[in-house]
Amino acid sequence: MKRSKKTRQQELQETIQTTPFITDEELARQFDVSIQTIRLDRTELSIPELRERIKSVAELGWQETVKALPIEEVIGEVVDLELDRRAISILDIKQEHVFSRNNIARGHHLFAQANSLAVAVINDELALTARSRIEFTRQVNLGERVIAHAEVQGEDEKGRSIVLVHSFVEDEEVFTGSFEMFRSNQ
């Protein structure tokens, strides 16, 4: 059953408000309309394109600075950061991230996104991964967007920070990892 334009635009606005990193392609699938229709609806509603929404969330969402490594060394684009609490990054899977014969993302890129985010969330000049336990829960394909969420859980018996990272494509978890982080101030 087709939605009216007014209903679709209202639902589109609500969807983008709750999931600002959703792509026009994902919206087109969700609303069963063309990408052009989504773009026209966004224009009429004065909703910026994805890149602008990411910038806006990044500018409003966090003012802290990564201490343990230069921000450009974090794999993916950091869009939210609260040191020693949580962080979010986005990695768009491009041709350079995949195996050429099947367009499946190489695992080390997903690990690198999660590991560098675990380092970035630590509020210390030196943060190193002492140990990690990881699991890939499904393959990631060319063109997909991986959103990694890191959360500091506290410290272990050695005083190392424990950071849990869960990575998703849309609402499906594709990677999970637990990182024990050595800090210079231990």
Domain 5-56 has CATH 1.10.3720.10: no
Q: What token pair was written down for 177?
A: 């990892």
Beta-carbon contacts of residue 7 (< 8 Å; ≥ 6 apart):
none
Give this prediction's pTM.
0.69
Q: Could you state, in order of their start, the residue ranges of all structural domains in the chain?
A: 5-56, 62-183
Query: What tens digit of pLDDT does each residue of 70-116 get?
Result: 777 889 988 888 889 999 999 999 999 999 999 999 999 999 999 99
Q: Kindly report the backbone phi and psi dihedral angles of residue 41, in degrees, each rounded to the nearest multiple of 5, phi listed first.
A: -60, -45
Domain 62-183 has CATH 3.60.20.10: no
Query: What tens digit of pLDDT does each residue of 122-174 get?
Result: 988 888 999 999 999 999 999 999 999 999 998 888 889 999 999 999 889 99
For 36, counting Cβ atoms within 10 Å of its Cβ (0-12 exposed, 13-18 middle, 19+ buried), the class is exposed
